[in-house]
């Protein structure tokens, strides 16, 4: 029996990176997975990988910042699998490294819509089903950038700090219901979002320096975040609630940084 045997789990941002790794691992552990991504071809590719390994998965192409879409994929999970036992609200965007004087309200609005309103909508629409059945686990992808400065750009960091607060306040709002809400805070992970950083370093011949600022002295892999999400959504984490857990090789223990030109 797998660690998620018989459980129905929604994963957003499942078309690549951490979301894809989570879909593969959750299905391997026995979950019925609903994989959501705004890029249909990408999430279909994830499904093909899971199905080849004998897992159970359904896909939905949806925008996680659109309330009707979120309600739709939650209802789809219930109709297909008879309920929703867990949600991994993982989808997110970085917004790039734009200097603050060049950032626009539109940039902030889009990052907050996807990164913060998206998890809020997932919690809003999944939690009633969980409360009715007396149990459920919601996990959100935050970031070490939401814990302290110098791990991400301003709007991205603010959105992830908001996710951490959302997790804490939601967990307390669900007092006594059996619904747990937690966050995982990745450090530097090689995904599509961070691809420009990795590609640039490799082009310069400095790939070996990626991740050197954390005491583990390397960058992370999507599977390492997926494994933490697996724990948090499983019954093994039954007494873990309202927490934001870093998986960052130790980066968040200090958040060392190289000063910008302004700070030099």
Contact status, residue 141 vs residue 189, Cβ threshold 8 Å: no
Query: Whose CA is closest to 190, among 152, 221, 151?
Result: 221
φ, ψ of residue 150 to 5 degrees: the values are 75, 20
Contact status, residue 24 vs residue 52, Cβ threshold 8 Å: no
67-74 contacts, C-beta under 8 A, 24 or more apart:
67/121, 67/125, 70/118, 70/121, 70/122, 70/124, 70/125, 71/121, 71/125, 73/10, 73/34, 73/36, 74/10, 74/122, 74/125, 74/126, 74/129
Q: Which residue has the tokens 């302290």?
A: 148
User: Both tokens of residue 199?
Assistant: 């590609």
Query: Whose CA is closest to 34, among 54, 17, 53, 50?
Result: 50
Please tell me which residue in 88, 156, 175, 219 is annotated as part of the active site.
156
- Cα distance between residue 32 and residue 22, in whole Å: 12
First to last CA, the chain: 56
Active site residue 156: yes
User: Both tokens of residue 225?
Assistant: 């975040």
Catalytic residues: 156
């Amino acid at each position: 029996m797998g660690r998620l045997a018989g459980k129905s789990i929604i994963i957003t941002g499942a078309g690549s990176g951490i979301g894809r790794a989570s879909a593969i691992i959750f299905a391997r552990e026995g979950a019925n997975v609903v994989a959501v991504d705004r890029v249909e071809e990408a999430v279909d590719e994830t499904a093909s990988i899971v199905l080849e390994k004998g897992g159970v998965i359904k896909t939905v192409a949806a925008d996680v910042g659109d309330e009707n879409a979120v309600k739709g994929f939650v209802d789809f999970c219930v109709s297909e699998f008879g309920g929703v036992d867990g949600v991994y609200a993982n989808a997110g965007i970085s917004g790039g490294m734009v200097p603050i004087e060049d950032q626009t309200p539109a940039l902030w609005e889009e990052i907050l819509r996807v990164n913060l309103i998206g998890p809020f909508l997932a919690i809003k629409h999944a939690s009633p089903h969980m409360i009715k059945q007396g149990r459920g686990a919601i996990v959100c992808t935050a970031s070490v950038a939401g814990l302290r400065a110098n791990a991400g750009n301003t709007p991205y960091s603010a959105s992830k700090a908001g996710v951490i607060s959302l997790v804490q306040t939601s967990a307390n709002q669900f007092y006594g219901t059996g619904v747990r809400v937690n966050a995982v805070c990745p450090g530097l992970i090689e995904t599509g979002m961070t691809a420009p950083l990795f590609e640039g370093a490799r082009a310069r011949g400095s790939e070996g320096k990626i991740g050197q600022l954390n005491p583990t002295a390397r960058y992370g892999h999507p599977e390492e975040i997926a494994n933490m999400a697996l724990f948090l959504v499983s019954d093994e984490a039954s007494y873990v609630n309202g927490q934001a857990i870093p998986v960052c090789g130790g980066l968040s223990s200090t958040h060392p940084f190289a000063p910008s030109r302004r700070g030099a």
